[in-house]
């Protein structure tokens, strides 16, 4: 696309946008009586306008049917979570049997580690990206300690080369190969929360398997943002939150993926609960855990129906929009436009005031741009907020801006860039 730094261009692109009407299906925060420009979907997605309706429906079922809501009504609660399997499987590139919704992200990561962190002899090490989100770091540290290892010895972090800001795939693979005889797990984010780098998950999975290790992924910033093919890539497991790009509400329900190749593996440990028991015999209340088929067998606790209802409200919108590939096309265009305008600001002032540290290659990023502000960063961020631009701050000087395709527009991006320039002036 040949971008232009003009409001006329932005207006025309919005007119041509096949997804333009989907913005109306979300509630936009207000700033001085007008829609704010919300560029923080990487942290919390906007509320679907239908969310309240979905919640009220389930409250009505609770009111009118009480405990019988598990078995009666339009959406019996016992199988409510299965209504989401089709939508989620398309978003992460899996079979429906390989995904389920449950718990929250870090809880799910710990539960999956029970199955897939299998230290044995000299194979006890985990490779992960340096600077991973703290929850992942804490989870890995506590898991290795639980098994009796020193995290400093058991965890190998990979950092960018000197003078570089993001990781090279070849360096990740080299590190996996270097420690192949010691590895039991490679655990990466799908997209690094700080830099916005989208890792080559297929290549990482392949290298991990060649090394004899499992490959697992935290997709908090990837699910609902970029196309994924977890089944085809043969990833062993993954988990994600749904309150960022999948708009399920603050602290919304999480989800997991387990590749079907592991369904019959009796050597995999798991922490079991009644909700993960096989459905056809669940109410016999028999002793001895007999897992449900597929990823459902990793469930532990009863599904939280109100959280599922919020998630369903968003998944209906995803399905109506045509899925992740349709969204991806607009995401690439919007994010590219934002990068173009930021570069224009630097040209205007004759110096690199704003440095985009997210990869320039569109295949190596989602819709988030992480921008280092080299002058008065906190004041610039405050200026944006004071003018109705909602972004995200990361110490010491990074502003994260994410034009989400379901509800952001080219005009949003243009006006945000205008305020960035105004802040410097």
CB of 345 closer than 8 Å to CB of 420? yes
CA separation for the pair 316, 291 (Å, rounded): 29
Neighbour count for residue 89 (Cβ, 10 Å): 19
**pLDDT for the residue 422:** 96
**pLDDT for the residue 1:** 85
**Two tokens at 60?**
């009505």
Task: For 186-235, write each residue's pLDDT tens digit.
Answer: 999 999 999 999 999 999 999 999 999 999 999 999 999 999 999 999 99
Task: For 122-158, write each residue's pLDDT tens digit.
Answer: 999 999 999 999 999 999 999 999 999 999 999 999 9
For each of the domains in the chain, give its residue range(s) and CATH number, in order of start. 7-35+323-424 (3.90.1150.10), 55-320 (3.40.640.10)
Sign, CA torsion 68/69/71/77 = negative
Given a cut of 90, is residue 119 above it in pLDDT?
yes
**pLDDT for the residue 293:** 93
State what percent of residues in the chain have pLDDT above 90. 99
Given a cut of 90, is residue 366 above it in pLDDT?
yes
Contacts of residue 196, Cβ cutoff 8 Å, sequence gap at least 6: 42, 221, 357, 358, 359, 365, 366, 368, 369, 370, 400
Mean pLDDT of the chain: 97
CB of 179 closer than 8 Å to CB of 186? no
The pLDDT of 3-13, averaged and rounded, is 98
Task: For 383-422, write each residue's pLDDT tens digit.
Answer: 999 999 999 999 999 999 999 999 999 999 999 999 999 9
Instruction: Band the pLDDT of 280: cuts 50, 70, 90.
Output: very high
Contacts of residue 384, Cβ cutoff 8 Å, sequence gap at least 6: 390, 391, 399, 416, 419, 420, 423
The pLDDT of 364-384, averaged and rounded, is 97
**pLDDT for the residue 266:** 86
**DSSP output for 330-347:** HHHHHHHHHHHHHHHHHH
Task: For 155-189, write each residue's pLDDT tens digit.
Answer: 999 999 999 999 999 999 999 999 999 999 999 99
CA separation for the pair 195, 7 (Å, rounded): 29
């Amino acid at each position: 696309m040949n971008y232009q730094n003009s409001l006329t261009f932005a207006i025309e692109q919005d007119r041509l946008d096949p997804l333009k009407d989907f913005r109306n299906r979300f509630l936009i925060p207000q700033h001085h009586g007008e829609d704010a420009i919300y560029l923080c979907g990487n942290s919390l997605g906007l509320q679907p306008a239908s969310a309240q309706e979905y919640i009220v429906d389930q409250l009505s079922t609770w009111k009118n049917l009480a405990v019988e809501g598990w078995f009666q009504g339009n959406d019996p609660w016992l199988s409510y979570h299965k209504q989401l399997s089709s939508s989620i499987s398309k978003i992460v590139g899996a079979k429906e049997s390989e995904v389920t919704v449950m718990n929250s992200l870090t809880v799910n990561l710990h539960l999956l580690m029970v199955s897939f962190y299998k230290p044995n002899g000299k194979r006890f090490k985990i490779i992960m990206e340096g600077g991973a989100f703290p929850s992942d770091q804490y989870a890995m540290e506590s898991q290795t300690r639980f098994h009796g290892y020193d995290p400093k010895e058991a965890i190998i972090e990979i950092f960018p080369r000197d003078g570089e800001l993001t990781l090279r795939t070849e360096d990740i693979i080299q590190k996996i190969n270097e420690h192949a005889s010691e590895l039991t797990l490679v655990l990466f984010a799908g997209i690094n929360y700080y830099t916005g780098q989208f890792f080559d998950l297929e290549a990482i999975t392949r290298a991990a398997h060649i090394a004899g290790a499992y490959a697992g992924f935290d997709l908090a910033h990837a699910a609902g943002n970029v196309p994924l093919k977890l089944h085809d890539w043969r990833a062993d497991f993954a988990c994600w939150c749904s309150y960022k790009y999948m708009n399920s509400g603050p602290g919304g329900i999480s989800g997991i993926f387990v590749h079907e190749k592991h369904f019959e593996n009796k050597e995999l440990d798991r922490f079991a609960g009644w909700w993960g028991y096989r459905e056809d015999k669940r109410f016999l209340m028999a002793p001895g855990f007999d897992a449900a088929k597929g990823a459902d067998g990793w469930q532990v606790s009863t599904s939280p129906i109100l959280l599922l209802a919020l998630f369903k409200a968003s998944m209906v919108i995803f399905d109506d929009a045509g899925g992740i590939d349709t969204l991806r096309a607009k995401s690439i265009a919007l994010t590219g436009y934002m990068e173009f305008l930021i570069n224009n600001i630097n040209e205007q002032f004759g110096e690199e005031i704003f440095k985009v540290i997210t990869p320039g290659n569109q295949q190596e990023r989602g819709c988030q741009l992480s921008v280092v502000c080299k002058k008065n960063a906190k004041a610039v961020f405050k200026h944006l907020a004071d003018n109705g631009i909602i972004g995200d701050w990361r110490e010491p000087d990074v502003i994260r801006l994410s034009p989400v395709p379901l509800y952001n527009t080219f005009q949003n991006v243009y006006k945000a860039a205008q305020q960035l320039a105004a802040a410097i002036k």
